[in-house]
Amino acid sequence: TKVIRLASRPQGLPTAAQFQFDTLDLPATGAGQVLLKTRYVSVDPYMRGRMNEGKSYVPPFEVGAPLAGGVVAEVIESQHEALPVGSVVVGNLPWQEYILSDGKGLNRIPTDKAPVSYFLGLLGMPGLTAYFGLLDICQPKAGETVVVSGAAGAVGLIVGQLAKIQGARVIGTAGSDEKVAYLRQLGFDEAINYKTTPDIAQALAAAAPAGVDCYFDNVGGAITDAVYDLLNKHARIALCGQISSYNDTETPVGPRPETKLLKTSARLQGFIVGDYFSRWPEGVQQLTEWYSQGKLQTEETITEGFDQIPAAFLGLFKGDNTGKAIVKVS
Ligand code: NDP
């Protein structure tokens, strides 16, 4: 089988040189094992952090070892009772075309509820990130103003729709006019192209005349600095991601937000979706229900071909994707 390994640790923005294509001979499927054929591979911003050395909330990838992440695969050979041939599973799996597994950590997914790739997006990790980050940490109320940065991405577009379901006024920031148009079509009240807006602080202030009650932060940097100037009393901030600094080689510096949090009695909470692991089934059930009722939509940017996985991953940092970035392998 083909496999993609981490060739070296990137300094700054990763390049194609960090990815080593190789082949691997898989042994015959043994007792208790399944042979999986990879169908969809998820590429996610957090993988950038795993390419660095050092402790984080997930251990780093090892140089020379296969890269790995969310994968949807089909069982094509089985000696495992609970996973017959034809089952479709999702799991944290290596970037390989074929994978031998003992079934541990694999979740069988239904094929009749939604496209199976949605279990890497709306009905998977990004959807749950939006669900718990917004509903548990931000807790928006009807009539409140919610800002979400990275709004046209996998997590962001779900956050905005969930905030609309709660009756909030929703403002999103994203990096192209097409994305902004898409957000408006999804029901966002305001959407701002942060790349072309001459003054992001002014644009956000104009879009949020009543101030900001909730901020779901996916990107950090200048957008976040601007939102902190608009916080209302008792604002809630879910610190989900800081993609604008993932490739920085030095610690970013900027305005210090502490007095703004102090003056507004705001609550800033970092979180990772894994914190909510015990509540994942509840989240998947609720997201599936809203999706089936037509209350939630999603979008995918699908790149075709196993060999395109690195390019799709690198595209995250250029804003190539609208909605979930996925690679279709087979
Ligand atoms: P996205 O689908 O949003 O893809 C990344 C997007 O980030 C790009 O499309 C691009 O959109 C935007 N972007 C890239 N570089 C910059 C930059 N310098 N400044 C501003 N925006 C930029 O990814 P996800 O939805 O999967 O993830 C969104 C965020 O949530 C990430 O920060 C990620 O790390 C985080 N996350 C956190 C989790 C947690 O448990 N805490 C779980 C999952 C995700 P644009 O065109 O708008 O620039």
Position 52 pLDDT exceeds 90: yes
For ligand 1, atom 19, name the residue with the nearest CA. 244
The fraction of the chain above a pLDDT of 90, given in percent, is: 98
Mean pLDDT of 116-127: 98
- The answer to whether 124 and 70 have CB atoms below 8 angstroms apart is yes
For ligand 1, atom 35, name the residue with the nearest CA. 241
Read off the pLDDT of residues 19-48 as tens digits, 9 standing for 90 and up. 999 999 999 999 999 999 999 999 999 999
88 Cα to the center of ligand 1, angstroms = 27
69 Cα to the center of ligand 1, angstroms = 16
**Is residue 231 very low, low, confident or very high in pLDDT (cuts 50, 70, 90)?**
very high
If one residue of 122, 178, 193, 218 were mutated to test the ligand 1 pocket, choosing by the most ligand atoms within 8 A of its CB, it would be 218
Q: What is the mean pLDDT of the chain?
A: 97
240 Cα to the center of ligand 1, angstroms = 9
Q: What are phi and psi of 283, to 5 degrees?
A: -65, -45
**Is residue 195 very low, low, confident or very high in pLDDT (cuts 50, 70, 90)?**
very high
| Residue 57 confidence (pLDDT) | 86
Q: What is the dihedral of CA 16, 19, 21, 26, to 10 degrees?
A: -160
121 Cα to the center of ligand 1, angstroms = 13
SS3 state of residue 304: strand
| Residue 55 confidence (pLDDT) | 86
For ligand 1, atom 31, name the residue with the nearest CA. 241
Enter the tokens of residue 235: 């604002």
Beta strands in 218-278 (DSSP E): 231-239, 267-270
Position 126 pLDDT exceeds 90: yes
> What CATH number labels 125-274?
3.40.50.720
- C-alpha to C-alpha distance for 113 and 115, rounded to whole angstroms: 7
| Residue 27 confidence (pLDDT) | 97
Read off the pLDDT of residues 254-310 as tens digits, 9 standing for 90 and up. 999 999 999 999 999 999 999 999 999 999 999 999 999 999 999 999 999 999 999
**Is residue 56 very low, low, confident or very high in pLDDT (cuts 50, 70, 90)?**
confident
- C-alpha to C-alpha distance for 229 and 122, rounded to whole angstroms: 31
115 Cα to the center of ligand 1, angstroms = 23
Topology classification of domain 2-120+299-328: Quinone Oxidoreductase; Chain A, domain 1 (3.90.180)
Tell me whether the CATH fold assigned to 2-120+299-328 matches the one assigned to 125-274. no
Domain boundaries, the chain: 2-120+299-328, 125-274
pTM assigned to the model: 0.98
Question: What's the ipTM?
Answer: 0.99
